[in-house]
Structure 1
Amino acid sequence: MGGIAVGVCGWTDPALVRSGWYPSGSRDAEGRLRYYAERFPVVEADATYYALPSARNSELWAARTPPGFRFDVKAFSLLTGHPTRAAALPADLRPAFARGPRNPRDADPALLDEIWGRFSGALEPLRSAGRLGALLFQFPPWLAPGARAEEFIGRCAERTDGWPVAVEFRHPAWWQRETADRTEALLSGLGMAAVAVDMTQTLPASVPPVTPVTSPDTAVVRFHGRSTAWGTGSKEDRYRHAYSTAELTEWLPRIRSLADRADTVHVLFNNCCGDAAVRAAETMQELLSEAVR
């Protein structure tokens, strides 16, 4: 498959653990990761969105995976402008955070610098071991195109200078016809890789399935499922979708086109309901292998 790596978003999702995909004897933390890494070459770590990671976990992740395996790591919520609970921060930073503005995008730059320093420091063992794929900056659905949003993204780029960053926009206007060229130029100029998404196209919030390449190093595709409950209901409602072979086949020429323009393509399944994501990832690996043959 060349530079195409397929995996899922989160190997510790409770629904996946309960599904029975992990065999008996491989259900502890170490066993799950080792079993997963035998079957897929990449995974997205999303727990880092909810709380700052630890260097110890990075060391364990690196030790439990083979050379060539990669972790895409989701950026902490406050760094991407999402609402963040004070309890999600280390205890010594909570007082400063509690005094700050309600809009996370206007948080104290010194506080954000400290959070970024701790976040990146915790990931340094992963990076040093050659296991870091990309940092995923998933911006909130209310971040619409405009000068203020571009300024915020520019500040994120300054803070992450030297790190591999992939950007997913949740507001559909970024990739609509009249703004797509400007969005592509913005990310290219900042050295950030664009994330393509698959999701239902029947909602006002649906992001178009475009596949721009804004970094020669990396392109990312995230499959969210095609539930029409996107943005509403429980997590299970939002992500409940079992991809058919026909739906995955639609993406083969798009993924091959990405691989022609970027050194590495990460294809990640986020339809985390039971074992739906790993089953879709397995099927996609088979389809890509057959296409190569």
Structure 2
Amino acid sequence: MGERTPDHFTFNIKAFRLFTGHQTNRTKLPKDIQAALPASDKKNLYYKDTPGEILRELWRRYIEAIEPLRRSGKLGAVHFQFAPWVVNNDDGRAHVEHCADVLEGFTLAAEFRHTSWFSEKAREATLAMERARGFVNVVVDEPNTAANSVPAIWETTNPNLALIRLHGRNHETWNIKGAAAASERFNYDYNEEELGVLASQILEISKTVVRTHVVFKNNFEDRDSAMPARSCKFSEETQLRSREKAKANDHLLPFY
């Protein structure tokens, strides 16, 4: 990938779903790994139930796959979108720390999906952990309707990068049941007023870091075809507000 992209191009890579605590269908694993797994009548695998030697090999292969991007200078962050059941308890914190240990030397971003991480009581401790381990705190804009969502925490925890992820604000579909596709959760278009408010918040947070990445969720139906126009509109909005504040912001990059 690195050889086929411009020198300035940056990749943010999602961590493999098994590493983030999500259920993982055994058929998604390499054939030799499938064969090495203990026999089971369960189709899904979880990190906590996976033999240590299998986990070590999966991590080794993952690092081997992304290392060329890091060497080329095109790897932004490895994005850990932790499962909603990775909660803020001893086991949850230990797993987050474990991921940081395994990928020491990489820039990691943490996106939590359980409200316990950013409750009023836990917020400062979570941010402190992210700062101590070098995690980029992923600022998420999403519906706050249930335990599997977190508020937008406009704080940076790594001086090199801020990462903002815009999931949309469709409260009705966030936990939709019986959907034809998981992407139906993200059926939402930001209007100009919402983009304007976000632009101001993002410009403010960008003052504290070297680079800022803004990621639009675009996997619902034909949203991908509209996304370039929307991201251009957002970029124009940020540049306008940046000029109004007489501050250049060349390091703010919209992703989609």
Fold shared, TM-score > 0.5 on shorter chain:
yes
* Structure 1 residue 95, shift from structure 2 partner: 2.8
Q: Secondary structure at the match of 2:207?
A: helix
Normalised by the length of structure 2, the TM-score is: 0.85
Counterpart position of 1:199: 142
Counterpart position of 2:169: 226
Counterpart position of 2:208: 261
The 1:204/1:156 distance shift into structure 2, 3 A limit, reads closer
Matched residue type, 2:182? K
Matched residue type, 2:31? A
* Structure 1 residue 67, shift from structure 2 partner: 1.2
| Mapped partners of 2:130, 2:54: distance in 1 | 25
* Structure 1 residue 237, shift from structure 2 partner: 1.9
Q: CA deviation digits over 1:197-229, x for unaligned, max 9?
A: 011234453320112211111111110111221
Counterpart position of 1:81: 21
Give the gaps of 5 or more residues in structure 1: 1-60
| Mapped partners of 2:218, 2:148: distance in 1 | 17
The 1:283/1:63 distance shift into structure 2, 3 A limit, reads same
Aligned pairs (5 A) from 1:167-186:
167-186=110-129
* Structure 1 residue 153, shift from structure 2 partner: 0.8
Q: Secondary structure at the match of 1:80?
A: coil
Q: CA deviation digits over 1:71-104, x for unaligned, max 9?
A: 1000111111111111111111113334589542
CA contact (8 A) 2:156 2:209 kept: yes
Matched residue type, 2:168? G
Counterpart position of 1:160: 103
* 1:217 equivalenced with 2:160 (yes/no): yes
Matched residue type, 2:175? G
Counterpart position of 1:111: 54
The 1:161/1:227 distance shift into structure 2, 3 A limit, reads same
Normalised by the length of structure 1, the TM-score is: 0.74
| Mapped partners of 1:141, 1:276: distance in 2 | 29
Q: Secondary structure at the match of 1:205?
A: coil
Aligned pairs (5 A) from 1:1-293:
61-99=1-39, 103-228=46-171, 229-232=173-176, 233=179, 234-273=181-220, 274=222, 275-293=225-243
Q: CA RMSD in A?
A: 1.9
Counterpart position of 1:19: none
Q: CA deviation digits over 1:41-86, x for unaligned, max 9?
A: xxxxxxxxxxxxxxxxxxxx21221111101000111111111111
Identity of aligned residues (%): 32
Q: Which has the higher contact order (CA 8 A, sep 6+)?
A: 1
The 1:279/1:85 distance shift into structure 2, 3 A limit, reads same
Give the gaps of 5 or more residues in structure 2: 244-256
How many corresponding residue pairs? 233
4+ residue segments displaced more than 4 Å: 98-102
